[in-house]
A and B are shown apart, each in its own frame.
Chain A
Amino acid sequence: MAQLVGPLRKELADSLSSCRVLVVGAGGIGCELLKNLVLTGFKNIEVIDLDTIDVSNLNRQFLFQKKHVGKSKAQVAKESVLRFCPSANITAYHDSIMNPDYNVEFFRNFQLVMNALDNRAARNHVNRMCLAADIPLIESGTAGYLGQVTVIKKGQTECYECQPKPTQKTFPGCTIRNTPSEPIHCIVWAKYLFNQLFGEEDADQEVSPDTADPEVAWNPADAAARATASNKDGDIKRVSTKEWARSTGYDPVKLFNKVQLFKDDIMYLLTMDKLWKKRKAPLPLDWTEIHQLESSQEEAFGTGLKDQQVLGVQGYAQLFHRSVETLRSQLIEKGEGAELVWDKDDPPAMDFVTAAANLRMNVFSMNMKSRFDVKSMAGNIIPAIATTNAVIAGLIVLEALKTLNSDFDQCRTVNLQCCSFHVGVIGLVQILTLAVFAFDCLRNVFPVIGPSVQVSMKTTSVSNNNKFLSDFGIRNGSRLQADDFLQDYTLLVNLIHSEELEKDVEFEVVGDAPDKAPVSSVPEEGKNIANGNKDSAQPSTSSKAAAEDDDVLIVDSDEEPSSSTMETSLESSNRKRKHHDADTDDAASKRKRLDQQPADDDEDIIALD
């Protein structure tokens, strides 16, 4: 007869009390998860979160109270849990999981990692670290009434990045600048305007009319002509929005009348008559005219939230005026060369976007939106409640119990070969050259005959390429994709920067080679070139230098946060790159062969979109 400890069989209860788990995130899911873990019997828990507590968290992050607003989530969560379970052994980190201090060795301390995150960059990162450390990961997420839980275990299930994830929606520049048709276009425009006026100017965030819009021209040749013209003119005549604003002393009325805010630039847009053949034309607003109109009855406060009111044009014009003045003061206070960063929770910044977006909506005959609605869209707010998080966190723990029992077939994910093969440490991306990377490093997995590289759509020859990986924008955490010419096999390589390799070691390979050997029509010849891979030797190259084995490396840039010091040390299976002399003739002869290859190697590159 089984022995029970509470609801659990004794063996399970015992294994729980000795196991160590990591919870990444102490927010909506994290609070519920910590509570479930300790009540279930987990004793050793580490929790990490970089965030502090906000009042809007309190409707669901129940370990926090109003008095904790501003404090570290991880820290307060730990303290709250200890109050009902003092015997729990909890370590809290007020830090980002992407900090290189949390290296593979750190992850290897745990039997299980559970994500409770709200952004893709961190999820990708934890995914890669768990794969590198070979620790099971339970991934989860919630939004509104929906949520999901997935178990990720290297070699048993897909990883988080095996399936492509939809990227955030973006809008074409001409829609934002010339022909907005939905409130979101006006809101995006207003945020761009904020940056142009008060923040970091970005060439991709232009707010003025776009003369290069292909729709503007009556014939294509005209469009091309306009495009070149505007580029030329731009350098000479056009003054940046910010400089112009400064020159007027950020006069709200001048801003209003000029910057597409609502008069001059609108009138300029109107001259692009083709745009308005099939669309309703924008109606410019003039500051003085607005205020001469009888003030329209503002909608009664009524029973809604103050923020849910929709004002009239005058109301938003006034809001615009007030917010510009406040933001101007903020800029002055910050001093010379200051820049403001837009934040939905900063009232004047939010007021500015509300006002500017609504005025633009009015110009383009759209129904205006309340501050409440604008804030949702501008701030990408995801509605959230306690119950969804409670359910998901409950499911996470149930999956955790199965995982610890190694019941992967009971887990919810599909068994697929994972996408990733890791090249673990690339010591110092500033030092490793492209040539060495392509020839020596990748050769461990893949015979590389005449690789060429496509970096941001530009093809670069690899032979004798002494440019450093970092010159191509490759950095810690970058992911590269290698395809063989026949697109038969795709290899995803995660690069992790390290400064802690042994002397003379330029890189280390972590992880298993892929099962499938690339297609090769040449017989095995000469020396085994594999550098200590577990797998059997890859066929070496032959003098035939078959064109079909060309590889293309594509640099895939990830959204990495701006804060990242470039240090990660990895402990991997000890594979060292042999010294050149040890590699002997094979390397030398191969290189020689390749040097002789014609430059039209490049023709064999597979085009990227």
Chain B
Amino acid sequence: LALALSRPRGEDNIISEEEAAQYDRQIRLWGLDAQKRLRGSRVLLVGLRGLGAEVAKNLILAGVKGLTLLDHEQVTEESRRAQFLIPVDADGQNQAQASLERAQLLNPMVEVKVDTDAVESKPDDFFFQFDAVCLTRCSKDLMVRVDQLCASRNIKVFCGDVYGYHGYMFSDLGQEHHYVEEKPKVVKGSNEANDGPEAKKGKVDPNETTMVKKTISFCSLKEALEVDWTNEKAKSSLKRTPADYFLLQVLLKFRTDKGRDPQPDSFAEDSQLFLQIRDDVLETMGLSSELLPNTFVSYCFSEMAPVCAVVGGVLGQELVKALSQRDAPHRNFFFFDGLKGSGVVDYFGSK
């Protein structure tokens, strides 16, 4: 079984002195090979609000080849306060465009581009130019569509959102994602004549490590979101299932129905609607409304900056892992509850 690690995509294989100096502390962590793969990767990032800005920062600092910031929305006071890339006088401008200058300054060695179109309007082949896509603030239908057309072409797909104190990340790295893990090498004692019994015989040598190749498979977003909860097996696993999974379903439905997320300005109206959608969604799944108590509502509005930082950090690192093909990826959801301060990795979909 030949495991084919894709070649480093870099046009040249040499790291410059400037890159070596700037990336020193991360090269010492994930190695030069991983850095080269990052350096050859092009990423599409959709949505430049709180979460998007965090992901953009993390990818740009990591040193990808190119990052395209795509967003069709305009800067509002609320959106400007949610992130740190947009200047204070940019109200009315396109969100991606307004973020460009500060994003580029984070790392001049990365090609940062802007696209002001709505992602729904993009043709299939638009996505094929990227090695990974990261979708935020997108509708469920759009995400399912993009996931379907990318996964088959070995383009890594990530989705993520932050709703108030809650956030999630999903990944689909394809049917066969190859990666390596660095493990310490076990050193065997030598049998040379002038060596006595060496103290280190058979011990793990902390100085030497070896790379172990692995493969893992992911299911589609569609499968992950369309788990059948009516069968017995699913029901028995309900206790262990994070409530955030159901919260996500409710919020995606809200987004589809209303064309936007719950807004602080219309708190009363949106809270009502949220509760109603919760009832509908859970009923359709054959589940009780008690899975998502009413208290959830007031903590789902806007984006909490620290929650964007946490989810953006995890999402950013998952992208780095996938692009560098190094270290075991999370499979396939990460949920973060900012009230409890708890993060959970869980798998949803066919096994």
Docked Cα-Cα span, A382 to B84, in Å, equals: 28
How distant is B158 from chain A, measured CB to nearest CB, in Å? 14
Is the C-beta of A497 less than 8 angstroms from some C-beta in chain B? no
A391–B313 CB distance below 8 A: yes
Docked Cα-Cα span, A58 to B24, in Å, equals: 10
A384–B26 CB distance below 8 A: yes
Q: For residues 273 through 332 of chain A, which have their beta carbon under 8 Å from a beta carbon of chain B?
A: 277-281, 303-308
| Inter-chain contacts of B81 with A (CB < 8 A) | 6, 39
Is the C-beta of B20 less than 8 angstroms from some C-beta in chain A? yes
B317–A387 CB distance below 8 A: yes
A 370-397 to B, binary, CB cutoff 8 A, 1 in contact else 0: 0010001000011111111111011111
B 42-75 to A, binary, CB cutoff 8 A, 1 in contact else 0: 0000000010001001100111000000000000
6 A-B pairs closest in CB distance: A394-B309, A278-B196, A383-B29, A39-B305, A390-B313, A391-B313
Docked Cα-Cα span, A385 to B15, in Å, equals: 18
B200–A181 CB distance below 8 A: yes
Is the C-beta of B86 less than 8 angstroms from some C-beta in chain A? yes
Q: For residues 256 through 310 of chain B, which have their beta carbon under 8 Å from a beta carbon of chain A?
A: 264, 267-268, 271, 298-299, 301-310
How distant is A374 from chain B, measured CB to nearest CB, in Å? 12
Is the C-beta of A50 less than 8 angstroms from some C-beta in chain B? no
Residue B298 contacts which of A4, A85, A385, A394 (CB distance < 8 angstroms)?
Answer: A4
Is the C-beta of A2 less than 8 angstroms from some C-beta in chain B? yes
Docked Cα-Cα span, A60 to B57, in Å, equals: 9
A307–B28 CB distance below 8 A: no
A381–B28 CB distance below 8 A: yes
B21–A281 CB distance below 8 A: no
A62–B57 CB distance below 8 A: yes
B341–A412 CB distance below 8 A: yes
Closest-by-CB residue of B relative to A280 is: B195
Kindly name the residue among B105, B196, B304, B308 whose own CB sees the greatest number of chain A CB atoms within 10 A.
B304
What would 17 more interface pairs be, CB under 8 Å, given A55-B21, A59-B24, A393-B306? A4-B301, A6-B81, A6-B264, A32-B309, A60-B25, A278-B196, A278-B197, A279-B196, A304-B32, A305-B20, A305-B32, A386-B61, A390-B58, A393-B309, A394-B308, A394-B309, A394-B313
B 311-343 to A, binary, CB cutoff 8 A, 1 in contact else 0: 011101100100000000000000000100100
A 258-282 to B, binary, CB cutoff 8 A, 1 in contact else 0: 0000000000000000000111110
| Inter-chain contacts of A281 with B (CB < 8 A) | 194
| Inter-chain contacts of B25 with A (CB < 8 A) | 56, 59-60, 381-385
B305–A40 CB distance below 8 A: yes
| Inter-chain contacts of A56 with B (CB < 8 A) | 21-22, 24-25
Is the C-beta of A65 less than 8 angstroms from some C-beta in chain B? yes
B14–A303 CB distance below 8 A: yes
Prevailing SS type, chain B contact patch: helix
B267–A3 CB distance below 8 A: yes
| Inter-chain contacts of B341 with A (CB < 8 A) | 395, 398-399, 412
A 394-409 to B, binary, CB cutoff 8 A, 1 in contact else 0: 1111110000000000
Is the C-beta of A106 less than 8 angstroms from some C-beta in chain B? no
A55–B58 CB distance below 8 A: no
Q: List 23 A-B contacts (CB under 8 A).
A: A2-B298, A4-B298, A4-B302, A6-B78, A35-B84, A59-B61, A62-B106, A66-B108, A181-B199, A280-B194, A281-B194, A305-B32, A307-B20, A308-B32, A382-B25, A383-B29, A385-B25, A385-B62, A386-B58, A389-B313, A393-B306, A394-B305, A398-B338
B306–A397 CB distance below 8 A: yes
B305–A390 CB distance below 8 A: no
- B residues near A (Cβ < 8 Å) are 13-15, 17, 20-30, 32, 36, 50, 54, 57-58, 61-63, 78, 81-88, 102, 105-108, 164-165, 192, 194-200, 207, 264, 267-268, 271, 298-299, 301-310, 312-314, 316-317, 320, 338, 341
Is the C-beta of A1 less than 8 angstroms from some C-beta in chain B? yes
Docked Cα-Cα span, A196 to B269, in Å, equals: 76
| Inter-chain contacts of B85 with A (CB < 8 A) | 84
Closest-by-CB residue of A relative to B14 is: A303
| Inter-chain contacts of B299 with A (CB < 8 A) | 7
B314–A387 CB distance below 8 A: yes
B61–A60 CB distance below 8 A: yes
How distant is B304 from chain A, measured CB to nearest CB, in Å? 5
Is the C-beta of A431 less than 8 angstroms from some C-beta in chain B? no
Is the C-beta of A182 less than 8 angstroms from some C-beta in chain B? yes
B57–A386 CB distance below 8 A: yes
Given the known inter-chain contacts A1-B267, A65-B105, please indicate yes or no for A394 contacting B22, CB distance below 8 A.
no
Kindly name the residue among A9, A56, A307, A390 whose own CB sees the greatest number of chain B CB atoms within 10 A.
A390
Docked Cα-Cα span, A575 to B147, in Å, equals: 70
How distant is B123 from chain A, measured CB to nearest CB, in Å? 32
A 74-90 to B, binary, CB cutoff 8 A, 1 in contact else 0: 00000000011110000
Docked Cα-Cα span, A199 to B310, in Å, equals: 45
Kindly name the residue among B105, B192, B197 whose own CB sees the greatest number of chain A CB atoms within 10 A.
B105
Is the C-beta of A249 less than 8 angstroms from some C-beta in chain B? no
Docked Cα-Cα span, A86 to B314, in Å, equals: 29
Closest-by-CB residue of A relative to B85 is: A84
Residue A84 contacts which of B87, B196, B307 (CB distance < 8 angstroms)?
Answer: B87
Docked Cα-Cα span, A376 to B25, in Å, equals: 10
Closest-by-CB residue of A relative to B78 is: A6
B305–A84 CB distance below 8 A: no
| Inter-chain contacts of B308 with A (CB < 8 A) | 394
Is the C-beta of A183 less than 8 angstroms from some C-beta in chain B? yes
Is the C-beta of A144 less than 8 angstroms from some C-beta in chain B? yes
How distant is B175 from chain A, measured CB to nearest CB, in Å? 27
Docked Cα-Cα span, A493 to B98, in Å, equals: 55
Is the C-beta of A156 less than 8 angstroms from some C-beta in chain B? no
Given the known inter-chain contacts A6-B81, A395-B341, please indicate yes or no for A58 contacting B22, CB distance below 8 A.
yes
Is the C-beta of A36 less than 8 angstroms from some C-beta in chain B? yes
A 33-62 to B, binary, CB cutoff 8 A, 1 in contact else 0: 001100110000000000000011011101
Is the C-beta of A5 less than 8 angstroms from some C-beta in chain B? yes
A387–B20 CB distance below 8 A: no
Closest-by-CB residue of B relative to A60 is: B61
A383–B314 CB distance below 8 A: no
| Inter-chain contacts of B24 with A (CB < 8 A) | 56, 59
Docked Cα-Cα span, A39 to B87, in Å, equals: 13
B29–A7 CB distance below 8 A: no
Docked Cα-Cα span, A9 to B88, in Å, equals: 24
Given the known inter-chain contacts A4-B302, A40-B305, A398-B338, please indicate yes or no for A390 contacting B312, CB distance below 8 A.
yes
| Inter-chain contacts of B84 with A (CB < 8 A) | 35, 39, 84-85
Residue B26 contacts which of A9, A182, A305, A385 (CB distance < 8 angstroms)?
Answer: A385
How distant is A1 from chain B, measured CB to nearest CB, in Å? 6
Residue B61 contacts which of A62, A372, A383 (CB distance < 8 angstroms)?
Answer: A62
| Inter-chain contacts of B23 with A (CB < 8 A) | 59
| Inter-chain contacts of B58 with A (CB < 8 A) | 386-387, 390
| Inter-chain contacts of B314 with A (CB < 8 A) | 387, 391
Residue A305 contacts which of B27, B62, B199, B312 (CB distance < 8 angstroms)?
Answer: B27
Is the C-beta of A145 less than 8 angstroms from some C-beta in chain B? yes
A1–B271 CB distance below 8 A: yes
How distant is B293 from chain A, measured CB to nearest CB, in Å? 15
A59–B26 CB distance below 8 A: yes
A86–B88 CB distance below 8 A: yes
| Inter-chain contacts of A3 with B (CB < 8 A) | 267
| Inter-chain contacts of A398 with B (CB < 8 A) | 306-307, 310, 338, 341
A39–B62 CB distance below 8 A: no
